Copies of this chain bind each other. A is one copy, B any other.
């Protein structure tokens, strides 16, 4: 009996093309022999927008929905006004496919240089809510262009939306050795949203008696990210705070060149989407300079999500081994080749992720 993995591939803009190629190389190598990989490439991004004015149509969504998962490189280009592709493609997809668990591991691999002194032992996961908060696009402008202009942005938060992501985060904490979950919000100022988060966090916690919990204001959390990052295990937070904290997490764990993410719909009603945290980096695009590691680690999250746990662990082990031995400068495809080779070698199968 043979299985199929139907993958939508969105290379996107800038370095997206290059890193996705390496991600696929590694994916092919990592998949069990009996799994047939079927990929279909989509041309979303700046070029399509310039040519057609489209970012993501209903027909596109219907096609994407047929896949088991989506792998995305990067979307964004300076030639497109800020916000058009972000709101019109990236956020539209997250909302359309109800990607409410935005999963972003923050792990400092041995051998990777952190900007923090003293090589702290960093290994946490941020569970960022992906479909609510200030990201809902509920804002407006009054008297535009006049000295009396007023602009609003509304953060919308629902018990339904918070509870499902909080429960997901507890389950992830429960499954990790340290079993610790930190809620990050700003409930001393954003009292309505903050108290809703905190109440649900406390209530759902009763279902997970083994999980230790604490709460931090977002400002205090940024301090701990640089002074004591080892204190974190799983973090659950709102969409905007999660956006900010995960870039900071990427920075302290060696840079966004290594940071992976999953936009997950745990129900499986819609395919989940996996992408590096970095953007399209137009300044280095087409030069083979981009590090594909973040994309490769996103492929590992994708496999994990689809239940290929051992295969995901092998990819992470291959990345860990590669990072530990890195020296000199390699091109995008050299790094991809090296990772694929490690996965092809039987020895790699015995390495455990660090």
Contacts and interface: CB of A to CB of B under 8 A. Distances in A.
Contacts of A163: 147
Nearest to A144: B196
Interface stretch (A31-39, A54-62, A219-227): A219-227
A153 B135 CA distance: 12
A139 B195 CA distance: 12
A142 B151 CA distance: 23
Given A117-B116, A147-B160, A219 B196 contact: no
Interface in A148-200: 148-160, 163, 186-196, 199
A148 B154 CA distance: 18
Interface stretch (A243-251, A261-269, A314-322, A341-349): A243-251
Contact of A218 (B116, B148, B244): B244
Contacts of A240: 186, 189
A247 B226 contact: no
A131 B126 CA distance: 31
A256 interface: yes
A205 B248 CA distance: 29
Chain copies in the assembled complex: 2
Contacts of A222: 222, 244-245, 247-248, 251
A115 B227 contact: yes
Interface stretch (A17-25, A83-91, A291-299, A304-312): A83-91
Interface string A225-257: 111000000000000100111111011100110
Chain A interface size, as a band, is 35 or more
Contacts of A227: 115, 251, 255
A226 B223 contact: no
A135 B189 contact: yes
Contacts of A2: none
A288 interface: no
A78 interface: no
B192 A152 contact: yes
Given A86-B188, A150-B157, A227-B251, 13 more contacts: A114-B117, A115-B118, A117-B118, A135-B189, A147-B160, A151-B157, A222-B222, A222-B245, A222-B248, A223-B250, A223-B256, A226-B226, A248-B248
Q: Which 5 pairs show the lowest CB-CB distances between chains A and B?
A: A219-B247, A139-B192, A149-B159, A151-B192, A222-B248
18 contacts: A82-B194, A83-B187, A83-B189, A115-B116, A134-B155, A140-B192, A141-B192, A147-B159, A150-B158, A151-B158, A151-B195, A152-B156, A152-B192, A153-B155, A153-B192, A154-B155, A189-B240, A223-B247
Interface of A: 82-83, 86-87, 91, 114-118, 134-135, 137, 139-141, 145-160, 163, 186-196, 199, 218-220, 222-223, 225-227, 240, 243-248, 250-252, 255-256
